């Protein structure tokens, strides 16, 4: 198991955002967390990244306990996140944003680093075309590509994607999800939080449903897609 989360509880002041959450992510898979707004999905990813303190529970990455590891060290250990809202550096170019993703790497002048950069440009050809363009002048979809590419430049064992399709046109949503599948097929494990439950479950090997800070259902993406309660709540009655 690449990621093991057990008994995770997180508070925002006196409000319990996550309560006794346990789940795992197998190496080489795509795992989806779905649920309504306010269910605790983004809090889960922020906690895994080290941006929220843990009240109780444990987080293991590749067998190592990272529950109290600072956020920047988690990146070096193989955890990298593409955040909700993209979070690009608007005044920096596409290439500079990508280089920020590889900031902690010690091989930035190596052929391997260049190869990783080429991989990002192959996944997102638009970024190669706009390598010298300021990220803040790009469309929402292009900025999402920058955010995902930046996260990949850290060479993560586990890529965390927070709402990759948010605010995108339907055609672009399909493209982003296809790229998520391709990233996984190239060997990167993915944990994805996504409001577009239909697309997320279609791509996921395993999925979990969060409601008010607790996991209430789990199963394969296919099984949850067929679950009547999940269909009614998140898939508009169909997928």
**What are the pLDDT digits (tens) for 76-133?**
999 999 998 888 999 999 999 999 999 888 887 889 999 999 999 999 999 999 999 9
Q: Which residue has the higher pLDDT, 124 or 171?
A: 124
Per-residue pLDDT tens over the stretch 8-26: 999 999 999 999 999 999 9
Helix (H) or strand (E) holding 95: helix 94-101
Model confidence at 7: pLDDT above 80: yes
Q: What is the pLDDT of residue 104?
A: 81
Segment 199-219, tens digit of pLDDT: 999 999 999 999 999 999 999
- Compute how many other C-beta atoms are within 10 angstroms of the C-beta atom of residue 171: 8
Please check whether residue 193 is in contact with residue 42, taking contact to mean a CB–CB distance below 8 angstroms.
Answer: yes
C-alpha dihedral sign at 196, 198, 204, 209: positive
pLDDT at 19: 97
pLDDT of residue 22: 98
- Of 37, 24, 28, whose CA–CA distance to 210 is shortest? 37
What does the pLDDT look like over 28-76, one tens digit per residue?
A: 999 999 999 899 999 999 999 999 999 999 999 999 999 999 999 999 9
Q: What is the pLDDT averaged over residues 164-174?
A: 90
Spell out the domains of the chain, with CATH numbers in brackets.
1-78+156-164+192-239 (3.40.50.300), 79-153 (no CATH)
Position 107 scores a pLDDT of 85
Model confidence pTM above 0.85: yes
* pLDDT above 80 for 173: yes
How far apart, in whole angstroms, are the C-alpha atoms of residue 142 and residue 147?
9
* Burial degree of 126 (CB within 10 A; 0-12, 13-18, 19+): middle
Is it the case that residue 239 has pLDDT exceeding 90? no
């Amino acid at each position: 198991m690449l990621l093991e989360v057990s008994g995770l509880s997180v508070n925002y002041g006196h409000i319990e955002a996550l309560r006794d959450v346990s789940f795992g992510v197998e190496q080489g898979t795509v795992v989806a967390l779905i649920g309504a707004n306010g269910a605790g999905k983004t809090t889960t990813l922020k906690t895994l990244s080290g941006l929220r303190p843990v009240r109780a529970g444990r987080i293991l990455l590749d067998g190592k306990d990272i529950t109290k590891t600072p956020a920047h060290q988690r990146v070096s250990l193989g955890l990298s996140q593409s955040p909700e809202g993209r979070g690009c550096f608007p005044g920096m170019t596409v290439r500079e944003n990508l280089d920020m993703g590889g900031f902690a790497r010690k091989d930035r002048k190596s052929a391997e680093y260049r190869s990783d950069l080429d991989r990002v440009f192959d996944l997102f050809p638009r970024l190669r075309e706009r390598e010298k363009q300021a990220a803040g002048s790009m469309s929402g979809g292009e900025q999402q590509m920058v955010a995902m590419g930046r996260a990949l430049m850290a060479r993560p064992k586990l890529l965390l994607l927070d709402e990759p399709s948010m605010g995108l046109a339907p055609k672009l949503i399909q493209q982003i999800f296809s790229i998520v599948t391709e990233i996984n097929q190239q060997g990167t494990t993915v944990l994805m939080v996504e409001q577009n439950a239909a697309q997320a479950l279609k791509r996921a090997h395993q999925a979990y449903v969060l409601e008010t800070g607790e996991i209430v259902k789990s199963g394969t993406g296919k099984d949850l897609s067929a679950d009547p309660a999940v269909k009614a709540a998140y898939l508009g009655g169909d997928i």
